[in-house]
Amino acid sequence: MEKSVPIHSLTLKELSYYMFFVLMLASKGLGLDSGDKLYYILSLIALAAVACKLCMTEYSFKEMAVIGILLLIAFFAYRNSGRLGIVLSVLAIVGMKDMEVNKLFRLGLGVFAITFAVTVLGAAYGIIPNPLVVHEKGEIGEVIRWGMGYSTGNVFHISYFILVVLAVYNMRDKYGLKALLWLMAGNIVVFIFSLSYTGIAVTAFYLLLNLYAVKRKRLCRVEKVLSMFPLPLCLLFSFIMPFYISSPIGRKLDSLLQARLSFSNYFLTSQSITPLGTRMKDVPYFWVIMDNGYVYILMTFGVITLLLFAAAYAVLISGYSKSGDVRKLAVIYAFLVYGIMEQFISNAFMNISLLFIGEILFCGKSEIKILKLQRTGILSGLIRLGEKEVALFSNENIIGRREKAAEKLVKRKTRIQIAGGTAGLLLIIAYIVVGPKRAYAEVPLTALNYIDTHVALFHTEEPYEQKSGLKNLMERYQQIATDETFGEKVLEALEKDNKDQRISAEVRELTPEEMRSMLEFSLPQYVHSSRNYDTFRIRLLESDYSISDETYELMLQEIVKGLEEENEKSGVYSELLPEERIWKSAGTDRIEHITDKELYFIKKDGNIAAVENIRTAIIWMLTGCGAGSIIYGLGIVCLQKGADTKAEE
């Protein structure tokens, strides 16, 4: 009988923190956010795990005071802003006592690599929703920016950047020009789908900066002085440039940064600045967003939080420049630069450099213990429990086989790469010869972050006392408008009343079923909040990109005309509103009825289809490379296993 031996062991408190870290990092790797129920479930489990870690860790009074202050600030910032991320980030920092950053980054690389691959592959093959935005990109014209399973193309590229940071940090001194070129190639491939100029630029900046860091073991006096500049420069740029957007250089920078300076100016001049955060009020449009991490921290979590954030990074930079830990400085600078153009830098599971703060606060080896807590009562029991080791078991023979297989894989690394490259080349040739070439792109409506709509409001003469009464009226209208004969009459009237050949052609392409699928019935947000139940609306969603705005407007007019008889019976009058754009995650305005079967047809520009065909070819090639490498590698492992079995016999 084969004997099992422990190959590694962890204390219970380490295991608790690892569980917290893995769950939260995996949620980001899977593209989850506060709009997903799974995110809240994982967050609750993670909170329980880190609470156990804190209870089982021995802290000095000084450390307890620091933790208490940070948690108090995080609690008030969360209560005022409604953003749970600040609490999770502070818990990640204060839970770092007795933990090692290097081990966390090694574990983080494995977790994030797997979740990133699952998310991107799932989106590429249509298994999970793949969010998109149609953008005008210079000379190219209209193109799609894919989220590849993440909320936007920008978040997709941020995720790749995080993966790169984890991979490069774990390479240590082995990182060189070859690794840089491979990761830069990945950066370019990700950009082809995300079209994130920020993402490709900052990722390239980090790859080059880390190459310098690896070659440069120590900083000279001039470099140490220069190392203190990035943080204040980022802060000055974020809080001064928004007030100079009317200047020539301000206009140019604002255009280059896609109106980020204008957005920052709006929040800094039109919203409240508070000590410990607040919720934004009366923001005019959903696309006016805080795409600046420093402005986001100030406006959302308050002045005190921003000052602590800046002070902590100043201490980190000073400490690492003196100790010569240039690789950590490279990580910090990359995230600080990203913070000028994205808001995620307050999240410790995206801005992983925040964990360095925990390392400085709680992981330093001090010669003097300041008033250590006495090990008495329940606290003593929990601390002893936290020190208890949990052994991870594995079979001795299996370990040996695994090591031999790994050695073989390393030795035949070049052959594996050739096998993958050959398979990728064969698949891309197959795509060119027999692959599906599309004249237009066709994607689920669930992939859209927003959609343009045409709106009609229906007002009752007297408000209903209960919401249910208004909903019943709305459902009666919905039943009429979604009847097949009603749809046929609307389309016939639309073609008859409009002699424009283009409009007639667009109408003839529609079926009553397609028209019905474009209709959404809902109560406006202000009706919910005011409890004045006198208005419902019909939205006509622009779910077919080949139909012009004019045709949509005329179609909604015909629908409203068709409902006039019901208006007279029910004492209702209608009102047509201008076209509006809906952000799908906007609370009760969320488009609930959309399913994966309803498609969004993109036919406005031939470049869209051409670019999509190129992207599909890239997916085929990468699939071939990955499959070829894995199959060849598994073959080597199986041969090694067979050889070991024969040797044992």
Q: pLDDT, tens digit, for every residue of 112-131? A: 999 999 999 998 888 887 88
Q: Tell me phi and psi for residue 438, to 5 degrees.
A: -105, 140
**pLDDT at residue 177 in the model:** 92
Mean pLDDT of 479-486: 86
Of the spans 13-17, 386-390, 629-633, which averages the highest pLDDT? 13-17
Give the C-alpha separation, 199 to 142, whole Å: 20
Share of the chain above pLDDT 70, in %: 80
Q: Choose between 199 and 527: higher pLDDT.
A: 199
**pLDDT at residue 446 in the model:** 63
Mean pLDDT of 245-250: 90
**pLDDT at residue 363 in the model:** 64
Mean pLDDT of 65-90: 92
Beta strands in 365-499 (DSSP E): 389-395, 441-444, 450-464
pLDDT at 604 exceeding the cut of 90: no
User: pLDDT tens, 371-390?
Assistant: 344 444 455 666 666 666 66
Q: Tell me phi and psi for residue 550, to 5 degrees.
A: -60, -40
Lowest pLDDT segment from 260-269, 307-316, 622-631, 634-643: 634-643
Q: Choose between 515 and 47: higher pLDDT.
A: 47
Mean pLDDT of 494-515: 71
Give the C-alpha separation, 553 to 572, whole Å: 21
pLDDT at 312 exceeding the cut of 80: yes
Q: Which of the four pLDDT bands, split at 50, 70 and 90, describes residue 93?
A: very high
DSSP secondary structure letters along 604-615: S-HHHHHHHHHH
pTM across the whole model: 0.79
Q: Which of the four pLDDT bands, split at 50, 70 and 90, describes residue 596?
A: very low
User: pLDDT tens, 98-112?
Assistant: 888 999 999 999 999
Q: Choose between 400 and 97: higher pLDDT.
A: 97
Strand ordering across the sheet containing 450-464: 519-522, 533-541, 450-464, 572-583
DSSP secondary structure letters along 194-247: H--HHHHHHHHHHHHHHHHHHH--S--HHHHHHTTSHHHHHHHHHHHGGGGTTS
Mean pLDDT of 553-567: 89
Give the C-alpha separation, 352 to 619, whole Å: 29
Mean pLDDT of 507-520: 77
Assess contact for 512 and 491: CB atoms under 8 A: yes
Q: Which of the four pLDDT bands, split at 50, 70 and 90, describes residue 3?
A: very low
Lowest pLDDT segment from 114-118, 149-153, 498-502, 579-583: 498-502
Which are the contacts of 585, defined by CB distance < 8 A and separation ≥ 6? 35, 449
Q: Choose between 546 and 348: higher pLDDT.
A: 348
Query: 377-387 and 37-55 helices cross at what angle (nearest 10)?
Result: 110
pLDDT at 391 exceeding the cut of 80: no
Q: Are strands 450-464 and 572-583 parallel, antiparallel or unpaired?
A: antiparallel
